[in-house]
Chain A
Amino acid sequence: MNHFEFKFRPSQSLIRRLWALSGIGALAWIAGLVAAPDRAWASLLMVSFWLLSMGLAGGFFVAVLYACGAGWAAAFRRVPEAMVAAVPAGAVGLLIVFLFHPELYPWMAGHGESSGFHAFWLNRPFFLARAILYFVIWLAFSGMLIRNSRRQDEDGDMAHTRRNIRISAVYMFVFGLTYWLASVDWIMSIEPEWTSTIFGMYHFSGMFVSGVAVTILLLIWLKRSAPLRDFVNEEHLHDLGKLLFAFSTFWMYIFFSQYMLIWYANMTEESVYYILRQSGALGVLFIINIVLNWGIPFLVLLPIGAKRTPAVLGAMAVVVLAGRWLDLYIMILPPVTHGKMALPWIELCMMIGTMALFVLAFLRWFVRAPQTPVRDPLLAQSLSYHS
C-alpha cells in the first residue's frame, strides 16, 4: 500500500509543549475556581464552546466542499476533517459546565419565573437531553463523512464521493438547525429574558470565519513543516483568503444587522444587552471586537496580493481568531461579571490552553490517515488548481 508513505508524525517535543500549554489552561481554571469561580465557569463554557465550534467548522466545511462539488480544496480536505476531533473535547467541557455549574444559567438555578413554552424549553433534563442529541448528530454526520473519505483511500471507489455528497446535503440543513438551537440553549439563555432571532446566524458566521482562519493557520504550518508541502499551493491559500475576507465581512453584516436594529428601535427589553456591553471599559472592547473581526482583515485582505502571501494571510487569521475570542468573551462574561471588568488572566490562560488542546486533538486525528485524500477523484483537479 503506497499510501503509508504519506504518513506524518509530529515530533514528540511539540506534543510535550502542547500538553504543557494545555496544563497552564487547566491550572488557570483551577486557580480561577478559587479566586473567581463565576468567571472560571463562564470561561470554561466559553473555551469549550470555542473548541466545539472549531470542530464543527471543520465538519461543516467538509460538508460544504462535498455538497458544492468543490474540487479545489480536495488536496487539503484532511485538515478540516481532522479538526472535527475538537468536537468531543468541547462537548466534555460543556457537559462539565451544564452538570456541575447550573448557576451559570439563571433559569436553571431557579431565578425568575417562567411559564408556557419558555418553561417547557428551558428545563434542565430537556436541556441536557438536547445537548446530548446535538453532540450525537454532529459526531454521527461528520463521522460518516470522514469514514467514507478515508475508505476511499483504500479502494478509490467513486461511490464514497457520491455517498458523501448526499450525506453533506442533509448535514448542512441538520447542522443549520442544531447549531442555531445550540447557540440559543448555551449562550443566549444565559440572559433568558433577552432574545434575538439572528443569534444563531450570528454564531454561525463567527464559527465559520474562525474555522477558516484555523484552517489557514494549520495549512501554513503543515506546508512549512513538510506534510502538505507538495499538496498546498498559493492558489489554495488565495481561495481560503477570499473565504476569510468574505466571511469576515459576512460576520460584520450580521453583527451590524443585529446591532443596528436593536439600536434603532431602542426597546428596553432588547437594548439592555448592548447597554451592558457598551458601558465602561467594555465599550472599548466592543469597538476592538469590530476592528479585529472585520476592520483589519477587510482592509488588509482587500488587495489581491495579500491573500496570496502566507505571512499576511496567517497574520489576518490570527487577528480573526483573536476577534472571535473577544466576541465570545463579550457575549458570555458580562452577564456573569455584571459588566465589571477585571484583568482577564483566567480567560487568557484558558484561551492559550484550549488552543494547544485543539492542536493536540487535531494532530491525533490527522495522523490516523494520509494527509491528503490520495484516491479522491477531485484530487488531480485540486493539485493543478489555479484561479
Chain B
Amino acid sequence: MADVALRPPLVAGHKRLAEVTEDICRPMERWPGLAWWAAFVVAFSMLMLGVTAVTYEIATGIGTWGLNTTVGWAFGITNFVFWIGIGHAGTLISAILFLFRQRWRTGVNRAAEAMTLFAVMCAGIFPVIHLGRPWFAYWIFPYPNFRGSLWMNYRSPLAWDAFAISTYFIISATFWYVGLIPDLATVRDRANPGLRKKIFTILSFGWDGGYKTWNRYEMVYLLLAGLCTPLVVSVHTIVSWDFATAVIPGWHATIFPPYFVAGAIFSGMAMVLTLMIIARKVMGLEAYINKRHLDVMSKLIITTGSIVGLAYLTEFFTAQYGSNRYEQFVFLNRARGPFAWAYWTMVSCNVLTPQILWIRKIRNSWTLVFIITIFVNIGMWFERFVIIVTSLHRDYLPASWADYRPTSVEIATLIGSFGLFFTLFLLFCRVLPVIAIAEIKGVLKHGVQGEAH
C-alpha cells in the first residue's frame, strides 16, 4: 500500500482503452477552433518575418548581421545552440527515461520528440545561414567530386557538428516515426474511407497489431533508445567542442561537454514544460499530463539547473585559482564588463530562479512553474550569448577588442525561428496523435492496482 501512496497512477480517471483512443484522436479529427487559428496566424506571421529576414540576408550578405572582425559569431550561433539544447529534452524523455523505465514519460514523450525534431530543424538552419556563402554549405560533407582528392577536414569541430546534427536529426526522426507507426494505424482504422484513410494507410506501413511484430518492434525501440542516449550526449558534447577546442579563453574549458549537456537538458525540460502546460489546457489532456509530470520535471529542472550553476562556479573558480591572466580576465569581464547585464540575467534566470522549485507548493502550481520555465528559457538563451560573445569580444590583444550589437535582421531571424517552431508544432498537434496512444494504453493500469514493476 505504501507503494501506491508514493506513486500515484500515471493516468488519472480510470480511462478505458477506447476512451484513450477517443481522447487523443478526437482533437485531430475536428476542424480546429478559433484559438488554434489565432495561434497559427501569429506563428506563421513570425515565420514569414524570419523568411524575409533570411532572404534579405542571403541576398545582401552576412554583413547585415551586427558581426565584426573580432566578434565573428554571436546571435546566429547563440540561436543554434539554444535550439539544439531545446531539442535534447525530447530525446532525454523518450530515450533515456525509457531505459530507466520511468513510465511517466509516456504522457509526454510523443510531443517531446516532435519538439526535438522541430527544434533541430530550427537549429540546423542557423549554421547554414550564418555562412558567408550558404549555397556552398554542402562542401562540409565528404562527397566524391571531379576536383581530384578533395575531401573535408575531419579535424574540425564544425565538421563533427555537421555529422552530429544530421545524424541526430535522422535518428530522432526515425525513432519518432517508429513510435508513431502503431498510432498511425489506430488513426487509420478510425478514419472513414477517403483521402484521410488513404494517407494514413500509406503512413502506417500496413501495421496490423500482430504480436510477433510487436515483439520485434519492442526490441528495435529499445535499441533505438539505447542508441539515442549516447547520441544525445554526443551531440551537445560536439556542440560544446565547437567552442572548447578553440584557444580562446572562456571557450577553451574542459568542463564544457558535461556542462553543455546538463544545460541542454535543463533548457529543453523547461521548454517541454512550457509547451505541455499550454497543450494540456488547450487540448484538454489534463488526465494524461498531470501533477506527477509537473513534479518530476520540476525536480529535473532543479537538478540540471544546479549542475549548470555548479559549472558556472567551477569555471569562475578555476580561472581565479589558476594563473592564466587571460582566463581570469574573461570571467571578470563577464561579471563586470560591458555584457555584465547579460551575465547576471543568465545567473539569475538559470541558477537562482529554479531554486524556488524546492518548495513543494510552487512545484505544484501550473502557473508558477510555467513562469519559471519561461525564465529558464530566457536564461539559457543568454547563457549561450554570454559564452559566445563575451569570450570573443575581448580576447588576447586589447587592440582588437570590439563590441557587438545585434541588428534588426538578426532579431527578425530569431523571431522567425520561433515562428517556424510553433508553426510546425501547431501543425503537428492538428495532424498527428500528440500522445503515444499505444504506449499510454500499456501503462494504463500502472499504479491503479498497485502493480509493481
Are A265 and B245 touching (Cβ within 8 A)? yes
Chain A nearest CB from B227 CB (Å) reads 13
Are A118 and B257 touching (Cβ within 8 A)? no
Whole-angstrom CA separation of A267 from B2 in the bound complex: 57
The A194-235 residues at the B interface (CB cut-off 8 A) are 195-201
Interface majority SS (helix, strand, loop, mixed), chain A: helix
Chain A nearest CB from B152 CB (Å) reads 17
**Is the C-beta of B306 less than 8 angstroms from some C-beta in chain A?**
yes
Chain A nearest CB from B44 CB (Å) reads 41
Task: Report if A71-B3 is in contact (Cβ < 8 Å); known contacts: A173-B306, A196-B254, A197-B253.
Answer: yes
Whole-angstrom CA separation of A184 from B233 in the bound complex: 25
Residues on the A chain within 8 Å of B3, using CB? 71, 377-378, 380-381
Chain A nearest CB from B185 CB (Å) reads 28
Residues on the B chain within 8 Å of A258, using CB? 254
Are B257 and A253 touching (Cβ within 8 A)? yes
Are B324 and A261 touching (Cβ within 8 A)? no
**Is the C-beta of A329 less than 8 angstroms from some C-beta in chain B?**
no
**Is the C-beta of B258 less than 8 angstroms from some C-beta in chain A?**
yes
**Is the C-beta of A257 less than 8 angstroms from some C-beta in chain B?**
yes
The A156-192 residues at the B interface (CB cut-off 8 A) are 158, 169, 172-173, 176-177, 180, 184
Scan A99-127; emit 1 where CB is below 8 A from any B CB, else 0.
Answer: 00000000000000010111001100000
The B244-272 residues at the A interface (CB cut-off 8 A) are 244-247, 252-258
Are A261 and B254 touching (Cβ within 8 A)? yes
Residues on the B chain within 8 Å of A169, using CB? 358
Which one of A158, A198, A384 contacts B254 once the chains associate, using CB atoms below 8 Å?
Answer: A198
Residues on the B chain within 8 Å of A260, using CB? 241
**Is the C-beta of B101 less than 8 angstroms from some C-beta in chain A?**
yes
Scan A60-93; emit 1 where CB is below 8 A from any B CB, else 0.
Answer: 0000000001010000000000000000000000
Are B247 and A117 touching (Cβ within 8 A)? no
Are A121 and B246 touching (Cβ within 8 A)? no
Which one of A114, A249, A257, A377 contacts B230 once the chains associate, using CB atoms below 8 Å?
Answer: A249
Residues on the A chain within 8 Å of B7, using CB? 69
Residues on the B chain within 8 Å of A380, using CB? 3, 452
**Is the C-beta of A193 less than 8 angstroms from some C-beta in chain B?**
yes
Whole-angstrom CA separation of A262 from B247 in the bound complex: 10
**Is the C-beta of B320 less than 8 angstroms from some C-beta in chain A?**
yes
Are B247 and A267 touching (Cβ within 8 A)? yes
Residue from B233, B306, B315, B321 whose CB has the most chain A CB atoms within 10 Å: B321
Task: Report if A69-B247 is in contact (Cβ < 8 Å); known contacts: A249-B230, A381-B452.
Answer: no
**Is the C-beta of B237 less than 8 angstroms from some C-beta in chain A?**
yes
Whole-angstrom CA separation of A198 from B252 in the bound complex: 12
Are B233 and A253 touching (Cβ within 8 A)? yes
Are A377 and B323 touching (Cβ within 8 A)? no
Residues on the A chain within 8 Å of B101, using CB? 387
**Is the C-beta of A155 less than 8 angstroms from some C-beta in chain B?**
no
**Is the C-beta of A269 less than 8 angstroms from some C-beta in chain B?**
yes
Which one of B237, B257, B310, B323 contacts A177 once the chains associate, using CB atoms below 8 Å?
Answer: B310
**Is the C-beta of B322 less than 8 angstroms from some C-beta in chain A?**
yes
Whole-angstrom CA separation of A173 from B357 in the bound complex: 15
A interface, size bucket: 35 or more
Residues on the B chain within 8 Å of A4, using CB? none
Whole-angstrom CA separation of A198 from B311 in the bound complex: 9
Closest B residue, CB atoms, query A205: B258
Task: Report if A184-B321 is in contact (Cβ < 8 Å); known contacts: A177-B310, A254-B258, A387-B101.
Answer: yes
Chain B nearest CB from A247 CB (Å) reads 13
Whole-angstrom CA separation of A302 from B417 in the bound complex: 41
Are B252 and A121 touching (Cβ within 8 A)? no
Task: Report if A195-B321 is in contact (Cβ < 8 Å); known contacts: A173-B306, A265-B247, A387-B101.
Answer: yes
**Is the C-beta of B314 less than 8 angstroms from some C-beta in chain A?**
yes
Number of residues from B at the complex interface, CB < 8 A: 37
Residues on the A chain within 8 Å of B6, using CB? 69, 377-378
Task: Report if A262-B254 is in contact (Cβ < 8 Å); known contacts: A116-B320, A381-B3.
Answer: yes
Residues on the B chain within 8 Å of A254, using CB? 257-258
Residues on the B chain within 8 Å of A71, using CB? 3, 452
Scan B365-405; emit 1 where CB is below 8 A from any A CB, else 0.
Answer: 00000000000000000000000000000000000000000
Which one of B2, B230, B258 contacts A158 once the chains associate, using CB atoms below 8 Å?
Answer: B2
Which one of A198, A253, A261 contacts B245 once the chains associate, using CB atoms below 8 Å?
Answer: A261
Residues on the A chain within 8 Å of B323, using CB? 114, 118, 193
Whole-angstrom CA separation of A267 from B323 in the bound complex: 14
Residues on the B chain within 8 Å of A122, using CB? 321
Residues on the A chain within 8 Å of B313, using CB? 177
Are A377 and B2 touching (Cβ within 8 A)? yes
Residues on the B chain within 8 Å of A253, using CB? 233, 237, 257
**Is the C-beta of B318 less than 8 angstroms from some C-beta in chain A?**
yes
Residue from B3, B6, B245, B315 whose CB has the most chain A CB atoms within 10 Å: B6
**Is the C-beta of B307 less than 8 angstroms from some C-beta in chain A?**
yes
Residues on the A chain within 8 Å of B314, using CB? 180, 197, 200
Scan A6-25; emit 1 where CB is below 8 A from any B CB, else 0.
Answer: 00000000000000000000
Closest A residue, CB atoms, query B244: A261
Chain B nearest CB from A237 CB (Å) reads 17
Residues on the A chain within 8 Å of B5, using CB? 158
Residues on the A chain within 8 Å of B310, using CB? 173, 176-177, 180
Are B233 and A195 touching (Cβ within 8 A)? no
Are A118 and B254 touching (Cβ within 8 A)? no
Residues on the B chain within 8 Å of A264, using CB? 245
Closest A residue, CB atoms, query B303: A172
Residues on the B chain within 8 Å of A195, using CB? 318, 321-322, 324
Closest B residue, CB atoms, query A115: B323
Residues on the B chain within 8 Å of A385, using CB? 452
**Chain A contacts to B: CB under 8 angstroms:** 69, 71, 114, 116-118, 121-122, 158, 169, 172-173, 176-177, 180, 184, 193, 195-201, 249, 253-254, 257-258, 260-262, 264-265, 267, 269, 377-378, 380-381, 384-385, 387
Q: What would 5 more interface pairs be, CB under 8 Å, given A118-B320, A196-B318, A265-B247?
A: A71-B452, A177-B313, A198-B255, A198-B258, A387-B101
**Chain B contacts to A: CB under 8 angstroms:** 2-3, 5-7, 101, 230, 233, 237, 241, 244-247, 252-258, 303, 306-307, 310-311, 313-315, 318, 320-324, 358, 452
- 16 contacts across the A-B interface (CB closer than 8 A): A69-B6, A117-B320, A118-B322, A158-B5, A169-B358, A176-B310, A180-B310, A195-B321, A198-B258, A200-B314, A257-B254, A261-B252, A261-B256, A377-B3, A377-B6, A387-B101
- Lowest 4 CB-CB distances: which A-B pairs, in order? A377-B2, A197-B255, A198-B254, A195-B322
